[in-house]
Structure 1
Amino acid sequence: MGETTEELRVAEKRTEPYIYHVRNEPVMQAALDVFTIINKHGKGMLLAKGGSIPSAVAIANILVEKMLNRVCTIEHILLDSENEFGKRMISTIEILIVKN
């Protein structure tokens, strides 16, 4: 159940259609994109690093509390950190949202 940093890195390289990499973009547009993913695949996984983590949390809250209230839940949240280029630690988050 708990994935290691290496497993999270592998997850970033996966091409599963339900994975959404959170970047520097408008939160509502990203929430609509993930909404579409969840409706199509029954689940959506948000992956974010560093400064994108607050956006990932906001997207998850918008989906679960507002857009898909009582239709989906957060199955798990994985917080981790990794060495970026061997110099500094960078935080990572993985949020899995599934339809009930």
Structure 2
Amino acid sequence: MEETKQIAQHPPYTYFVRNDPIMPAALDVFTILNKHGKTILLAKGLNIPAAVAIANIIVEKMLHNSCKTDYIKLDSENEFGKRMISTIEISISKN
């Protein structure tokens, strides 16, 4: 229920990085970037390295010199009131 609320408040060009293979996820992000001209990658905890890898694949390999990383926001939040979990937000846009 709470995850549905989170998804509803984000723009349609937001991609939530899950525990999926990197290349299919990068192709999904590539599709979003071509459709909207920008995308935001969101990841938590152990999915943060995958988000960074996807951003690098898009910016450095797939769309070299035609897109850029606008910002990277690192944060942490209390999960279930017990422990801190790291989060990352990476914004990519076309030039």
TM-score, normalization: structure 1?
0.87
Matched, 1:55 2:50: yes
Matched, 1:89 2:84: yes
In 1, distance between residues paired with 2:88 and 2:7? 11
**Identity of paired residues, percent?**
68
Give how far 1:15 is off. Answer: 4.4
Alpha carbons of 1:13 and 1:88: their partners in 2 closer, same or farther (altered >3 Å)? farther
1:30-66 deviations in whole A, cap 9, x for unaligned? 0000000000000010000000000000000000000
Q: CA RMSD in A?
A: 1.3
In 1, distance between residues paired with 2:26 and 2:50? 10
Alignment of 1:16-95 (within 5 A): 16-95=11-90
Alpha carbons of 1:67 and 1:12: their partners in 2 closer, same or farther (altered >3 Å)? same
In 1, distance between residues paired with 2:10 and 2:19? 20
Question: Which blocks of at least 5 consecutive residues in structure 1 are unaligned?
Answer: 1-9
Aligned length: 91
Question: Which blocks of at least 5 consecutive residues in structure 2 are unaligned?
Answer: none
CA contact (8 A) 1:49 1:91 kept: yes
CA contact (8 A) 1:12 1:47 kept: no
